[in-house]
Copies of this chain bind each other. A is one copy, B any other.
Amino acid sequence: MRRFVVVGHKAVTTPKFSLNDLPGGAGRMDIVARCVNASLFLSHAPPVAIRFSGEKVRYLSPDERSPAALIKKALEKGVPPAGEQECTPGVYISKQSFADVIGSLDDIVYLHEDGEDIRGARLTGDETFVLSDHQNLTPEEEEILATKGARKVSLGKKLYHADHCIVMVNYELDRRSDS
């Protein structure tokens, strides 16, 4: 299964944000929303992790507002004391830090411009790809990835929006499974 972890550094974790101002008042929730559509496993700023299951999710259309509305609903449900809570079909909330999320996953690939070129990289399609929003990962976050043995893989020398990176990774994996 393909998994993507997106770190939304400024994304609010209160449901009191307006669907009409995702980039501003909601802390670049527009990026997070587009990443939901481009991928389907997502976690944002500690201590709240929201997971979308591609198989089970419902009420998701390809615009920005519908994933943002599902995130808002999940935050309204609130974080359970332990474990994951299903908020709407296929959308789960839990109290997990970035370290918790990464610790629970294997085959971590950190998308970074200094990594190995993706077109030559060994990929099974079962990796978890980690990418950041409009800010770089912090040194602490990078240390968590290094401890877990994450490989650095690069999409090229240019910098791209997070949701576009997910499109490119999915496309590369699609091409390999087609051939």
**Interface residues of A, Cβ cutoff 8 Å to B:** 19-20, 22-23, 30-31, 34, 38, 61-65, 119, 155-158, 160-161, 164, 167-168, 171, 174-175, 178
Interchain residue pairs with CB less than 8 A apart (8):
A20-B65, A23-B62, A23-B63, A38-B164, A62-B161, A64-B65, A155-B171, A156-B178
Residues from chain B with Cβ under 8 Å of A34 in the complex? 34
Residues from chain B with Cβ under 8 Å of A156 in the complex? 171, 174-175, 178
Evaluate contact between A63 and B30: CB separation under 8 angstroms.
yes
Evaluate contact between A30 and B164: CB separation under 8 angstroms.
no
Contact for A64 among B30, B160, B174, CB less than 8 A? B30
Residues from chain B with Cβ under 8 Å of A174 in the complex? 156, 158
Residues from chain B with Cβ under 8 Å of A22 in the complex? 63, 65
Q: Kindly list the 5 A-B residue pairs having the minimum CB-CB distance in the complex, ordered from nearest.
A: A30-B63, A167-B167, A164-B167, A23-B63, A64-B64
Contact for A62 among B31, B63, B155, B171, CB less than 8 A? B31
Cα(A64)–Cα(B167), bound, Å: 17
Residues from chain B with Cβ under 8 Å of A175 in the complex? 119, 156
CB distance from A32 to the nearest CB of B (A): 11
